[in-house]
């Protein structure tokens, strides 16, 4: 009788530490093959000219897969990468293994992933799921899911009272695993998007680079000691933690980061800065469980509020956004940075989204998809949660969530360091000249005119 083979299908859990899938595989003891499937539609362009995988994002993912592959090679574990529809690939693997397959994979977060897992169940495959992307387990938050908190504040105040919030299971040596020796047919080589990757913080995809960066940020530079003061900056290497790309692809687990912060606090003391970084991890947690509760509603124009909102289909506005030629230097600088590097600060993301929704008056979901294409740290729950929040159809909505771009520019880029880096054609212009330009009051010859003017603002008034 042929022995069952375990297939561990990795998705957004590209790591070895704090990994329930590997732990379950070790406990089972059956031969193991590890696979990653790049969905074929991630590389195709839709009717709006967007794909799921921009060049910088693809670069980070590819580096993460290479790092994982090398770690698995060191432990003589086979790693296979495929390109195609996940359900087709999984059923083909089942056929290659003559039906003797046990599939382990992370629990579904997004609706698309849920559809994949539901379809796989129809093929009579032994499917075992585990949790990999959240701080809390579903068992821990079960009491909240039936009446999910309408605001982050309510969620935070509840979970912060819980004792022994979570723990990281003891790791078991992966070298105890038996290896599936029969070679599986892999997909043809993937045509990755051409990369102009040059992200300013120089982060490299993969678990080991992620751990190295965390070690540098927390322990070498102790940059967490000023996190709350600097987190809203637009430029710099250490103004924010920059953990998000590794979190998004599961190269670092949120529980690992949380425990490292607790270790730091044990050594140097808890303060508002260390608390605020854990506070941001709880925001991420809130969005993830919200998506679990609301599902497809999160992706509807009316959002989880089922609130009717208007949106324009102005092609001039859309093309100005796509070409980073809105004529508003702060916005165009952010768009250029995003496209080139795959990253943009959280403060600037909020300003860009506010401008897209309230000035360009375009469908917020189009902007969310634009971020999805380019962001190295794209996280479906956080991205759509934040965009719907600013559109007034998400959690804790206020009547208007519109940013004052003039005040934001004055407060967060008064020296124009970010604008001058990404829009060098106006590096000689003053802040007042830029404010006059985007108000349409006195245009700059070297910069596109604003497609939508921003209210005039005098620094002397």
pLDDT tens-digit series, residues 72-126:
999 888 899 999 999 999 999 999 887 789 999 999 989 999 999 999 999 989 9
Q: Is 204 left (phi over 0), alpha (psi -120 to 50) or beta?
A: beta
Q: Does residue 265 surpass a pLDDT of 60?
A: yes
One domain, residues 75 and 144: no
The answer to whether residue 195 sits within a structural domain is no
Question: Do the beta carbons of residue 120 and residue 26 sit within 8 Å?
Answer: no
Average pLDDT, the chain: 90
10: three-class secondary structure by DSSP: strand
One domain, residues 238 and 103: no
Give me the mean pLDDT over the 229-254 stretch: 94
Residue 55 belongs to a domain with what CATH number?
Answer: 3.40.50.620
The answer to whether residue 454 sits within a structural domain is no
One domain, residues 85 and 14: yes
One domain, residues 284 and 353: no
Question: Do the beta carbons of residue 328 and residue 454 sit within 8 Å?
Answer: yes
Give me the mean pLDDT over the 3-31 stretch: 94
Give me the mean pLDDT over the 257-270 stretch: 96
One domain, residues 267 and 147: yes
One domain, residues 322 and 393: yes
Which structure tokens are listed for 396?
């804790």
> Would you say the C-alpha torsion 336, 338, 344, 349 has a positive or negative sign?
positive
One domain, residues 138 and 121: no
One domain, residues 343 and 294: no
Which structure tokens are listed for 182?
């029969």
Q: Domain total for the chain?
A: 3
Q: How far apart are CA 358 and CA 439, in angstroms?
A: 16
How far from 28 is each of 4, 19, 80, CA to CA, in Å? 10, 15, 20
Own/partner long-range contacts of 330-337 (Cβ < 8 Å, ≥24 apart): 330/405, 330/408, 330/409, 330/413, 330/418, 330/419, 331/355, 331/405, 332/422, 332/423, 332/448, 333/418, 333/419, 333/421, 333/422, 333/423, 334/422, 336/422, 336/423, 337/200, 337/418, 337/421, 337/422
| Structural domain boundaries, residue 71 | 1-132
Between 187-191, 404-408, 434-438, the lowest mean confidence (pLDDT) is in: 187-191
């Amino acid at each position: 009788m042929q022995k069952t083979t375990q297939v561990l299908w990795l998705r957004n859990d590209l790591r070895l530490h704090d990994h329930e899938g590997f732990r379950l595989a070790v406990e089972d003891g059956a031969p193991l093959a590890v696979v990653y499937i790049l969905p074929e539609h991630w590389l195709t362009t839709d009717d709006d000219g967007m794909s799921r995988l921009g060049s910088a994002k693809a670069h980070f993912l590819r580096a993460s897969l290479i790092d994982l592959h090398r770690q698995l090679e060191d432990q003589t574990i086979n790693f296979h990468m495929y390109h195609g529809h996940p359900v087709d690939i999984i059923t083909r693997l089942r056929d290659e293994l003559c039906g003797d397959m046990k599939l382990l994979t992370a629990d579904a977060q997004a609706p698309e992933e849920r559809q994949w897992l539901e379809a796989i169940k129809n093929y009579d495959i032994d499917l075992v799921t585990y949790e990999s992307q959240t701080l809390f387990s579903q068992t821990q938050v079960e009491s909240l899911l039936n009446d999910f908190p309408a605001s982050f504040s309510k969620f935070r105040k509840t979970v912060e009272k819980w004792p022994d919030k979570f723990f990281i299971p003891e790791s078991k040596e992966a070298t105890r695993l038996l290896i599936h020796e029969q070679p599986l047919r892999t997909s043809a080589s993937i045509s990755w998007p051409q990369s102009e990757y040059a992200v300013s913080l120089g982060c490299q995809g993969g678990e080991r680079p992620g751990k190295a960066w965390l070690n540098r940020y927390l322990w070498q530079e102790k940059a967490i000691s000023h996190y709350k003061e600097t987190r809203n900056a637009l430029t710099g290497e250490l103004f924010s933690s920059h953990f998000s790309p590794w979190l998004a692809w599961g190269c670092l687990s949120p529980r690992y980061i949380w425990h490292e912060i607790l270790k730091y606090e044990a050594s140097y003391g808890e303060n508002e800065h260390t608390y605020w970084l854990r506070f941001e991890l709880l925001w991420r947690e809130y969005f993830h469980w919200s998506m679990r509760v609301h599902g497809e509603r999160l992706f509807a124009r009316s959002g989880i509020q089922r609130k009717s909102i208007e949106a324009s289909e102005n092609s001039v506005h859309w093309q100005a956004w796509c070409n980073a030629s809105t004529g508003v230097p702060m916005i165009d600088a952010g768009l250029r940075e995003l496209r080139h590097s795959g990253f943009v600060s959280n403060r600037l993301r909020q300003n860009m989204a506010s401008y897209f929704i309230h000035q360009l008056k375009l469908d917020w979901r189009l902007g969310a998809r634009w971020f999805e294409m380019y962001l190295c740290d794209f996280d479906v729950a956080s991205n759509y949660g934040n965009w719907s929040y600013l559109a007034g159809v998400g959690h804790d909505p206020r009547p208007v969530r519109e940013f004052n771009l003039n005040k934001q520019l004055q407060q967060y880029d008064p020296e124009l360091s970010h604008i001058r880096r990404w829009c060098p054609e106006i590096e000689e212009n003053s802040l007042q000249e830029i404010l006059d330009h985007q108000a349409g009051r006195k245009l700059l010859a070297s910069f596109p005119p604003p497609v939508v003017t921003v209210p005039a603002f005098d620094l002397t008034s």
